[in-house]
Amino acid sequence: MTALLTDHAHLATRSGEAIAYLPAVGPWAAVERDHPPAWEDLRRVTSRAVVERSAGFEPTGWRTVDRSEYLVMVGDRPSTPTDTAGVRVLREHDLPAIARLAADCGATMFSEGAFAMGHFRGVFDHDRLVAMAGTRGSTPTTWEVAAVATVPDHRRRGLSAAVVSATREAAEATGRTAFLHVAPDNVTAVRLYERLGFSVHGEPVVVDELVALAPATGPTSDGRSTIGP
């Protein structure tokens, strides 16, 4: 939620105890408290939400379509030296190349609106994008590293290490700390991030993807009006 209230406030829409990115940007959202009134508020601003949960109930008016558990890893240690010379900044004109990479990886981690949220870096093999990473949630003190992917036929060449390292370096150049989420059973990725100076912090977090069954009606939970960016 901190990103939506700070660096990305201009990309957010809010109602009562709920806040979400504009639909064109992405599905990520948050509630001040994980309780029924906040979920009613969230239905006023979005029909699809990816939310970090602290409670286990199924919100009324919503259907959970996916649930994932992630470790939170923070770049708080020195990284193993990594060659980032082949990494370059990606621009919106690279969207077709990003779409091809996502298709090659079977990934759905990138939306066209993501360029409004963060910065992306990649490695090309001639005109083919073969690895990328970027930032998603941005606050005055942190950048979230996200959208890490390498096409299958270019793995084990150090490319994921290169794009993650370059992204961490960019975060630290702004005075921010890099962090990321990774599935606990993705042992290969966890070990890679540990080599790059990331450490597990706290307990795993639960992230749900939900769709609203119908828009909410009636007043917000706290009487505040719905506001846009």
- The answer to whether 208 touches 64, Cβ cutoff 8 Å, is yes
Q: What is the pTM of this model?
A: 0.89
Residue 82 CA to residue 9 CA, distance in Å, equals 34
Q: Which residues of the chain have pLDDT under 50?
A: 225, 227, 229
pLDDT at residue 81, as a whole number: 92
Pinpoint the residues of the chain covered by CATH 3.40.630.30: 77-200
Residues in Cβ contact with 69 at an 8 Å cutoff, skipping those fewer than 6 apart: 183, 184, 204, 205, 206, 207
Strands 205-212 and 198-200: unpaired
- The answer to whether 90 touches 121, Cβ cutoff 8 Å, is yes
pLDDT at residue 223, as a whole number: 53
- Superfamily holding 77-200: Gcn5-related N-acetyltransferase (GNAT) (3.40.630.30)
- The answer to whether 42 touches 29, Cβ cutoff 8 Å, is yes
pLDDT at residue 33, as a whole number: 94
pLDDT at residue 219, as a whole number: 57
Please calculate the CA angle 21-89-229 and round it to the nearest 5 degrees: 20
pLDDT at residue 129, as a whole number: 97
Mean pLDDT of the chain: 92
pLDDT tens for residues 30-73? 999 999 999 999 999 999 999 999 888 999 999 999 999 999 99
Nearest 10 degrees: CA dihedral of 132, 148, 212, 66?
140
